[in-house]
Amino acid sequence: MRPRNAVTQTFYRGVNVLALWTGAQAAGYPSGLWATYRQWTLARAQVRKGERGHLIIFWKLLDRPGQPYTEDDEEVCPKPKHRIVGRGFWVFNLAQVEGYKPFSVPELPETERIARAEQFYARLGIETRFGGGEAFYEPSQDYVQMPPFERFRDAAGFYSTLLHEGAHATSAPHRLNRDVSGRFGSDSYAFEELIAEWASAMACMTLDLSPEPRTDHASYISSWLKVLRSDARAMFTAASQAQKIVDWMWERRGQTA
């Protein structure tokens, strides 16, 4: 479930999505609702004794030094001639608190969620061909190749793969103009795969899709870890690039993720 602040109802963005998503997966939390200790208190809920928080980072533009910073500040995009500062906050999942009555959010029928995914991808304007047994993006001809729908185990897996390849397609010069010239096995190739996979995961969360891990994940994990270990900033850069992709995708619908 896409991480969201339980009090402000704002969806988390960028690297915070990855931090909270993986934190929830590791701890087995069934909810995507998070808030700071103070925010849960204001919502008349109590974080249970002994629970450990999860660290998130908010970025803020400061027009002048010393501008106050609060827990309710939202992330913003950097602009020139502004000082950018980051601050960490510890947040707790709904599963770690007592006494909270969550907002009632109606669930969309499965058929409608799939239809939404179809419409979402169609509006991207990326040429997509179906056939064969491989999924890939061909930069030289600017098209995505996908196996037919019936070759996938479930619909969520199909859309996850489709959005992964669609994320690669955003590297084209007339889209987000990202360099994807690295060969298979290289750090630059692994980094692009990491960006595309995170973008796919973020997009799936915005569409309320919950795909299972793909069969090719295992072959990429070692190369992803190599990149992350060699550059401490790689995770933040990849998350930022992935967020740009998802923002670009939603802009094709005239919306923001």
The Cα–Cα gap between 168 and 184 comes to 14
As a whole number, the mean pLDDT across the chain is 80
Q: Are residues 198 and 136 in the same domain?
A: yes
The Cα–Cα gap between 88 and 57 comes to 4
| Model confidence at 77: pLDDT above 50 | no
The Cα–Cα gap between 202 and 240 comes to 12
The Cα–Cα gap between 139 and 169 comes to 7
Of 96 and 223, more confident: 96
pLDDT for 79 equals: 42
Q: Are residues 142 and 225 in the same domain?
A: yes
pLDDT digits (tens, 9 = 90+) for 96-139: 999 987 665 555 455 556 888 999 999 999 999 998 878 899 99
126 located within any domain = yes
Structural domain total, the chain: 2
* Coil vs helix vs strand at 14: coil
* Coil vs helix vs strand at 234: helix
Identify the domain boundary among 38, 73, 98.
98
Give the domain extent around 92. 4-98
pLDDT for 239 equals: 86
Q: Are residues 89 and 133 in the same domain?
A: no
The Cα–Cα gap between 209 and 39 comes to 28
Q: Are residues 39 and 160 in the same domain?
A: no
Facing residues of 36 across strands?
A: 91
Q: Are residues 133 and 238 in the same domain?
A: yes
Identify the domain boundary among 40, 68, 98.
98
Q: What's the DSSP call for residue 183? A: P
The Cα–Cα gap between 37 and 81 comes to 34
pLDDT for 187 equals: 67
> 229: which residues sit within 8 A by CB, 6+ positions away?
none
Q: Are residues 235 and 127 in the same domain?
A: yes
Q: What's the DSSP call for residue 64? A: S
- Which pair of structure tokens corresponds to residue 16? 């915070």
pTM: 0.60
Identify the domain boundary among 43, 76, 98.
98
Q: Are residues 213 and 116 in the same domain?
A: yes
pLDDT for 217 equals: 47
Which residue type occupies 34?
Answer: W
